[in-house]
Amino acid sequence: MSPVVSVEKACAAAQLAAPVLARMSPSQRADLLVVLADALDEARDQLVPIAMTESHLPQLRLSGEVGRASGQLRLMAATIREGSYLGVVIDPADPTTTPPRPDLRRMQTPLGPVAVFAASNFPFAFSVLGNDTASALAAGCSVVVKPNPGHPRLSATVMAVAQQALSGAGAPSGMLTMIDTDVQAGIDLVNDDRINAVAFTGSQQGGLALAAIAAQRPRPVPFFGELGSINPIIVTAAALAERRDEIATGFIGSFTLGAGQFCTKPGVLIVPRDQELHDLLAAQLDEAAGQSMLTDAIQKAFVAGVTERMNIDAVEVIHVGQTDPDTREVTPTLLSVSASHVSDHPALLDECFGPMAMLVEYDTDEQLTHLLDELPGVLAAGVQAQGDEPQLPRLLDRLASLAGRVLFNEWPTGVAVTWAMQHGGPFPASTRPDTTSVGSFAIDRFLRPVAWQSIPDALLPVALQEANPWKLPRRVDSFRSGDDGG
């Protein structure tokens, strides 16, 4: 039996499952997430060959990505077992205050059914059982997945594995369902009034179209979209003089990794004008091997983006990549432009998904300052520096205002799945700069606070009851659990 169902059936099932999931204890939901993680790991040998066929990604990368996806599920399980995600706050009644204070108890509650749109570039980690799904399920929300058209057979197989595992663990039917890959199904899903939030990873064009639908519904719902990013890295003059070879090698390795099909690719290197760097980068790129792109549509958009930039008079070509439309194989392209010309061609600061990057070269600190004022919101940004440059505090402050993650002498590809990770940023990197799609705090997207006032203890949610049966961390009368006053 196919795991793919109609939008109507998926949303109806999700609506029925949502209150059942919401009533479960964090520990019970954590157990289900671990069941999914175990099932994913056990099916690795079945799933990876399918993913290789559909995505053209190598076995080693995909096998590792299965581990990342199962690790995300386990991190979310650990997050909800720990309990602070509920944000429990208790202010006991106090008749001596002005005005008198009633008994107030506040905690986070699940939003209800969530639509998850899978990404093309991570067939496991941002797909059917990716972190959007993991964090929504952890929050106590049922999930309807819209699979990516780039890997339909893999998505169906992963969903079948997941549903079998959940059924065996006694999970509520409708906890996790999947619709078809076609565009209209996705539109219908966002329009369905039973969906209470949408999580999306993909193109800016597609994401904004769906965000508009979510906002224009008779009952608008939050749309959490990760839409792409250029992830600029600034190189100081001192760092370039001291580590030119190292910076060139690190930059090429990062922007060509996975054929440049990472949302964290450093698409822009902001660097002092330096012909020696040009020559060094060109020589290294001459040796770069071809890599396959994920889909024909992605390759077509990549070629169009490169061509558009190369046709700008102010742009200099450092290295021209080659494209094979039959195999979807491409080699890297590197362009350069003076910082003084960027304001005339703002499209140069748009993401070009694939193995293309741009050197933006500056001659003075004033040029650099002006350029930083023109940069869009990004997922990540950083500096390559020696550490004692006087302008570093100012540069880091400016980058922190643009980015969700700021790096020092590292490259942005590679996102750790941890409590402290922030994977989001100001528009156009994402539609909600106050959230993350990776790490423990990704769960916050699918929760909302509710306060209970003067409710008898026996009628309160378990997390708010006086005896604290789940042993949750709580703030009581302004003191945190474990503080001297609590």
Q: From CA 157, how far away is CA 4, in angstroms rounded?
A: 10
Catalytic residue annotation: 226, 263
- Please classify residue 463 by burial: count the beta carbons closer than 10 Å to its beta carbon, then call 0-12 exposed, 13-18 middle and 19+ buried: buried
Q: How many CB atoms lie within 10 A of CB 443?
A: 26
Instruction: Assess contact for 78 and 131: CB atoms under 8 A.
Output: no
Q: From CA 382, how far away is CA 269, in angstroms rounded?
A: 10
Residue 99 one-letter amino acid = P
Per-residue tokens: 184: 């209209």
Instruction: Assess contact for 54 and 47: CB atoms under 8 A.
Output: no
Peptide bond before residue 428 is cis, with ω within 30 degrees of 0: yes
Per-residue tokens: 95: 């008749």
Q: How many CB atoms lie within 10 A of CB 256?
A: 25
Q: From CA 140, how far away is CA 209, in angstroms rounded?
A: 27
Q: From CA 310, how far away is CA 316, in angstroms rounded?
A: 8
